[in-house]
Amino acid sequence: MRMTCPACGCDGSYRFKVVNGFTLRKCDLCWLEFCAPMPTSEEIAVCYKSFYDHVSSLERMRLNAKRNLDYLVEKWGLWRTAKVLDYGCGENVFAAVAHGAGFQAWGFDPIRPPPGPFTVRDIAGKWAWITLWGVLEHLTDPLATLTRLCAELAPGGRMALTTVSMETGIPYQHIPPIHTLYFTRKAIEALAGRAGFKVIEYRNYEMELDSDMYLSILLRTVPEPYRLQIFHTLPDYVEVPTNEVFVVLERDDL
C-alpha cells in the first residue's frame, strides 16, 4: 500500500506500527511518521473529550509562554506593535501573557474556540507573526494549514512553532489520534518549502516543567517501592530538555 506523505508529498512509505487502532507509516524520503489513514474529525473529537495533557498546568503554560515571547523579542526582534496570531491557542495563555507585556497578540483555535478577550473568530489579517505552540503534530493536513497561514502573513512575515521530533534524543510516544505526525528536520524543511516558507531557525526545545512531574517522568521505570523513597530539593519548576524542536519559518517572497 502506498500513501502520500503529508510533509514532502512522496508516495513511498511503509507501515511499521498500529497504536490505538490507528496505523502508523514512515516516509521513505523525509522519514516523517504519520497516521495513514488520518483519523476523522469525529474520532479526534471523541479522543479529546478524555484527553488530559499531564504537563499542561496553567502556571507551566504561563512560564513557557513568557519564555517563548522573550526569546522572540531577544533573538528575532519582535516589536510591541507587531500583529501576532497564536494559532491553535487552546486556553489562549500565550496571547494573554503577550498582552500583559504590552504586545498585540490574539488567539485562534479551530477546535475549541477559547472564551474571553484577546481572541479572533477569523485568521484573516496580514499578521507579522503567527505562532503554533505544540500544534503541528496534531494536524491531519499540515500542508493545507501552513499554506493558509502563510497567505495570512504580511510579506516577510514569520512563524514560530514547536512540535514533536524523532531526532532530539529524548524518547517520545506514539499516541494517535492525539498526535498524528512525528517530524524530522528533513520533513519540516520539505513541508515548509511546499507551504511557501523557508526555515531560518531549527533547534532542540527546552521548557519549564514542574519538578515533581519531571522526577516522576525520570523514575517511571523504577519499581514503586523504591520510587516512593526518592525525594528531591529541586525548585518548583526546572528547565528541561524535551522531545520537541523550536522552529522559525519566514515567508519566502523571493
Q: What is the pLDDT of residue 109?
A: 93
Q: What is the pLDDT of residue 208?
A: 94
Lowest mean pLDDT among 17-26, 44-53, 195-204: 44-53
Kindly indicate the confidence band of residue 160, based on its pLDDT and cuts at 50, 70 and 90: very high
Instruction: Say whether pLDDT at 54 is over 80.
Output: no
Instruction: Say whether pLDDT at 78 is over 70.
Output: yes
33-35 β-sheet, strand order: 13-19, 22-27, 33-35, 181-182
**Average pLDDT over all residues of the chain:** 92
Kindly indicate the confidence band of residue 214, based on its pLDDT and cuts at 50, 70 and 90: confident
Specify which residues 84 forms β-bridges with. Answer: 105, 129
Non-local (6+) Cβ contacts of 162 within 8 A are 68, 132, 133, 134, 205, 244, 245, 246, 247
Instruction: Summarize the confidence of residues 219-241 as an average pLDDT.
Output: 87
Instruction: Say whether pLDDT at 52 is over 70.
Output: no
Kindly indicate the confidence band of residue 158, based on its pLDDT and cuts at 50, 70 and 90: very high
Instruction: Say whether pLDDT at 27 is over 70.
Output: yes
Which tens digit of pLDDT belongs to each residue from 89-127?
A: 999 999 999 999 999 999 999 987 777 789 999 999 899
Instruction: Summarize the confidence of residues 176-203 as an average pLDDT.
Output: 97
Instruction: Say whether pLDDT at 53 is over 80.
Output: no
Instruction: Say whether pLDDT at 59 is over 80.
Output: yes
Q: What is the pLDDT of residue 163?
A: 98
Instruction: Summarize the confidence of residues 138-151 as an average pLDDT.
Output: 97
Instruction: Say whether pLDDT at 14 is over 60.
Output: yes
Q: What is the pLDDT of residue 100?
A: 96
Instruction: Summarize the confidence of residues 167-185 as an average pLDDT.
Output: 95
Instruction: Say whether pLDDT at 224 is over 90.
Output: no
